[in-house]
Amino acid sequence: MYIVTGGAGFIGSAVVWSLNDQGEDDIIVVDNLGRSEKWKNLVNRKYTDYIHRSEFLDRLESGVFNNIEAIIHMGACSSTTERDADFLADNNFHYSVRLASFAVQNHIRFINASSAATYGDGKNGFEDSDDALNSLKPMNMYGYSKHLFDLWADRNKVLNRLASLKFFNVFGPNEYHKKDQCSVILKAYHQIKKTGRVQLFKSYREIYPHGGQRRDFVYVKDCVSVIQWLLEHPDINGIFNVGTGIDRSWNALASSVFSAMNVEENIEYIDMPEQLKDRYQYYTRAKTDKLAEAGCTIACRSLEKAVADYVQHYLMAEDIYL
């Protein structure tokens, strides 16, 4: 049995897709569907049961589940603008600690979703070594809630018994429900369809031109390939960056969408909201040596190839689900 928390969400539902592709369907999906449209991510998937997140931990700890192969913990509030710090501490940190503690105590493979948001403005680099943990200063509460879990795992000496993955800028099918938190690729596609242009934020640092802010954009299919590799190698543990290892500009991203849609490029630069100016990451790039040295040979797609697959095979085909 596999347990996937956040299993109806963006990366979580892609994990279920990947497991199904490997012939696995004995899967428990844990999530909080509420009135959202996330349920649509499960329509094409095969799984044993769906359990609400509020009920799941008590049932897990009571011992009702047998033969658990792995727990893939993708469930969290992923909004970088969420202001309720108590909610994030409870939902993203304490919940994760209980789940990880159960997995470690019962010798169950545990894979956790951390985030590149833990790196803050990047001044202290993007090094995924254990030694770098205490130097990181996240810029928002979401990043801090993820950082708290990694600190807990380090402090309690269980990093060698679980894998915590720092995802960089992930995009791809099944993200439609994230609304304002969805990728710029999805936003750009709809902007181009509606207006023929893409809006990008202006830069407020001289070293970056407008649209020249740089990020490590990684395709969700490549992310779940890494997760699948880790499931096949349960002896590989620790904190790992998950990204391409290459930084690209927002201008390059927009150009990739225009190209995939076969539309002439037209970019408009707009003011950044005041509340984002002091919390905006101008540069991210995953340092991927540690994962490679562990033996992972997953080759991430280039930005252009990933965007073309997403746009042409999903968005333009009006089939937005894996």
Would you name the residues annotated as active-site residues? Answer: 142, 178
Encoded tokens for 66: 């047998």
2 contacts 70 by C-beta, under 8 angstroms: yes
Q: Which residues are CB-contacts of 245 (< 8 A; sequence separation ≥ 6)?
A: 216, 285, 286, 287, 288, 300
Q: What is the pLDDT of residue 79?
A: 80
User: In the chain, what are the domains?
Assistant: 2-171+216-244+287-294 (3.40.50.720)
Of residues 91, 90, 112, the one with CA closest to residue 101: 112
Q: In this prediction, what percent of the chain has a pLDDT beyond 70?
A: 100
Q: In this prediction, what percent of the chain has a pLDDT beyond 90?
A: 85
Of residues 130, 126, 110, 129, the one with CA closest to residue 118: 126
What are 72's strand-pairing partners? 4, 111
The SS3 assignment for 228 reads: helix
- Single pTM value for the model: 0.95
Encoded tokens for 264: 């002439």
Answer whether residue 81 shows pLDDT above 80: no
**Pairing mode, if any, of strands 109-115 and 163-167?**
parallel
Distance of CA 107 to CAs 10, 70, 278, Å? 27, 9, 42
The rounded distance, in Å, linking the Cα atoms of 178 and 246 is 25
The rounded distance, in Å, linking the Cα atoms of 165 and 170 is 12
21 contacts 1 by C-beta, under 8 angstroms: no
**Pairing mode, if any, of strands 169-171 and 217-219?**
parallel
**Mean pLDDT, range 103-129, rounded to an integer:** 94
* DSSP string for residues in 292-308: HHTT----PPPHHHHHH
**Averaged confidence pLDDT in the chain:** 95
Of residues 247, 227, 221, 250, the one with CA closest to residue 310: 221
**Mean pLDDT, range 190-197, rounded to an integer:** 97
Band of residue 70 on the pLDDT scale cut at 50, 70, 90:
very high
Q: Which residues are CB-contacts of 95 (< 8 A; sequence separation ≥ 6)?
A: 53, 57, 75
Q: What is the pLDDT of residue 80?
A: 77
The rounded distance, in Å, linking the Cα atoms of 143 and 209 is 26
